[in-house]
C-alpha cells in the first residue's frame, strides 16, 4: 500500500506544478484598456478641425503664389469640416460650425467657401 501512496503523492506534486506558470503569466499580464482605442465625438471632431485649420493656413499662404494649390487646400479643409458637421453632429465643434461662428483664423466656414469661389473665378 505504501508504494501506491508514494505514487499518488508523486502524481499530485507533479500535477500541482503544471498549471502554476500559466496562472502566474495571467496574473502579470497587463489588461488591455479598451478606452484607449475609443475616442469621443468631440475628440474626433477636434482632430479633424486641427487638420482643417492647418490646411487653411497653408492655403492662405499660397494664395499669392499658387492659386490652384490654395483652392485645393481650401477644398480639403472644407471636406474635413463637412465630415465634422455630418459625422459628429453631437460635438460642440459641429454646433459652432453650423451656427456660423468664426473659427478659422477669423473666418467662418461660409466665408471659407466664399473665398474658394472667389479664387476659382480669379483662376
Q: Is the dihedral of CA 30, 31, 37, 43 positive or negative?
A: negative
Does the pLDDT value for residue 120 go beyond 60?
A: yes
Does the pLDDT value for residue 16 go beyond 60?
A: no
- Residue 65's pLDDT is 94
Q: Bigger pLDDT: 17 or 123?
A: 123
Of the ranges 10-24, 38-52, 65-79, 81-95, which one carries the lowest mean pLDDT score? 10-24
pLDDT (mean) for 60-81: 95
Predicted TM-score (pTM) of this structure: 0.66
Q: Bigger pLDDT: 16 or 96?
A: 96
What integer best gives the mean pLDDT of the chain?
78
Q: What is the pLDDT of residues 78-101, one digit of tens each?
A: 999 999 999 999 999 999 888 888
Judge contact between 41 and 91, C-beta under 8 A.
yes
Report the distance separating Cα 65 and Cα 40, nearest Å.
39
Domain ranges of the chain: 2-33, 36-122
Q: Bigger pLDDT: 38 or 50?
A: 50
Report the distance separating Cα 93 and Cα 41, nearest Å.
10
- Residue 39's pLDDT is 83
Judge contact between 109 and 94, C-beta under 8 A.
no
Q: Establish how many alpha carbons lie within 13 A of residue 59's alpha carbon, considering only the half-sphere containing its beta carbon.
A: 23
Amino acid at each position: 500500500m505504501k508504494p501506491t501512496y508514494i505514487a499518488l503523492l508523486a502524481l499530485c506534486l507533479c500535477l500541482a506544478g503544471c498549471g502554476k506558470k500559466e496562472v502566474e503569466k495571467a496574473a502579470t499580464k497587463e489588461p488591455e484598456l479598451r478606452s484607449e482605442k475609443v475616442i469621443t465625438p468631440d475628440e474626433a471632431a477636434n482632430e479633424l478641425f486641427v487638420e482643417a485649420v492647418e490646411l487653411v493656413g497653408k492655403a492662405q499662404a499660397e494664395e499669392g503664389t499658387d492659386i490652384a494649390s490654395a483652392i485645393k487646400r481650401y477644398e480639403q479643409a472644407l471636406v474635413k469640416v463637412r465630415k465634422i458637421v455630418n459625422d459628429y453632429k453631437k460635438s460642440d465643434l459641429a454646433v459652432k460650425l453650423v451656427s456660423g461662428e468664426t473659427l478659422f483664423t477669423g473666418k467662418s466656414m461660409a466665408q471659407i467657401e466664399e473665398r474658394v469661389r472667389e479664387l476659382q473665378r480669379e483662376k
